Amino acid sequence: MAIKGKLIQFRQGRHTVHEKHYIIAVDGIENKSDTTKVVGKNVSWKSPAGKIIKGKIAASHGGKGRVRAIFEKGLPGQAMTEEVTIE
């Protein structure tokens, strides 16, 4: 069963941006303790051209139920606020 999520933002610091790391809001997860259900699962984003870029959920991020995903290559800026599939 696939879970849907939404790309929120790059993982970034004061002086750096990690292009392969993304923060994802997962549907149905509202707090940090619920993120253990999806950590370690695969995530994929489908481009408008049909190309699929895959990644893996690495850890939780913050206390609001967000997770951090590391993709095999960087996603384009147009992917921001789009839907991803978690399997």
pLDDT at 30 over 90: yes
Tell me what the mean pLDDT of segment 57-61 comes to.
96
Tell me what the mean pLDDT of segment 1-29 comes to.
91
Q: Find where tokens 């997860």 sit.
A: 29
Length of the chain: 87
What is the per-residue DSSP string for the chain?
--EEEEEEEEEE-SS-EEEEEEEEEETT--SGGGGGGTTT-EEEEE-TTS-EEEEEEEEEETTTTEEEEEESSPPPGGGTT-EEEE-
Domains and CATH numbers, the chain: 6-86 (2.40.10.190)
Output the pTM of the full model. Answer: 0.88
Give the pLDDT of residue 41.
97
Give the pLDDT of residue 74.
87
Give the pLDDT of residue 19.
85
